[in-house]
A = this chain, B = another copy of it.
Amino acid sequence: MKASLKSQTPVQPLSTSETGAGIRGPFQWGLNSHRPHAFKAPLCPSPPRLRFQKDPPNPAFVVSQSPPSRASSCPMPRADDYFQSYTDPGVHRLMIQDTVRTEAYRDALNELIQPGMVVVDVGSGSGILSLFAARAGARRVHAVEASSMAPVIEALAKANDYENIIKVHHCRAEDLQLDGKVDLIVSEWMGYFGLAERMFESVLDVRDRFLAEDGRMVPDRFRLKLFPIQDEGLHQVHGPGSWDDPIYGFDFGPMSDYEYAELSTTAPTILPSGALGPHVSLIDLDLEFCSAEDFFFDQKVELPIECNGVVQGIGGYFEVDLAPETSLTCAPEAPATHWRQSWFPVRPFKVCCGDKLELTMQAVPRFEGDIRLPDYLMDGALMRAGKLEHSFFHRHLGSYE
Contact = CB atoms under 8 A, between A and B. Distances in A.
Nearest to A126: B255
A291 interface: no
A6 interface: yes
Interface in A1-23: 1-15
Interface string A137-167: 0000000000001001001101110000000
B46 A37 contact: no
Given A52-B395, A99-B11, A377-B46, A34 B336 contact: no
Contact of A38 (B11, B35, B375): B35
A8 B237 CA distance: 13
Give the oligomeric copy count: 2
A95 B30 CA distance: 11
A49 interface: yes
Interface residues of A: mostly helix, strand, loop or mixed? loop
B90 A34 contact: yes
Given A97-B31, A395-B46, A267 B4 contact: yes
A393 interface: yes
Contact of A197 (B1, B97, B336, B370): B1
Contact of A338 (B2, B197, B240, B249): B2
Task: Give the size range of A's interface with the partner.
Answer: 35 or more
A308 interface: no
A257 B37 CA distance: 27
A57 to B, nearest CB: 5
A197 B1 CA distance: 9
Contacts of A94: 2, 5, 7, 31-33
Contact of A88 (B7, B13, B89, B262): B262
A75 interface: no
B250 A44 contact: no
B97 A156 contact: no
A303 interface: no
Interface stretch (A175-183, A207-215, A218-226, A360-368): A360-368
Contacts of A9: 28, 269, 336, 340
B379 A51 contact: yes
A42 interface: yes
Contact of A269 (B8, B188, B266): B8
A327 B8 CA distance: 23
Contacts of A90: 5, 32-35, 264, 266
Interface stretch (A61-69, A277-285, A349-357): A61-69
A14 B96 contact: yes
A268 interface: yes
A309 interface: no
A267 B397 CA distance: 26
Contacts of A38: 4-5, 35-38, 400-401
A58 interface: yes
11 contacts: A2-B94, A3-B267, A6-B7, A9-B28, A30-B97, A31-B338, A43-B366, A52-B395, A89-B255, A97-B237, A128-B248
What 7 pairs between A and B have smallest CB-CB spacing? A34-B90, A155-B254, A8-B29, A6-B6, A89-B259, A35-B38, A4-B401
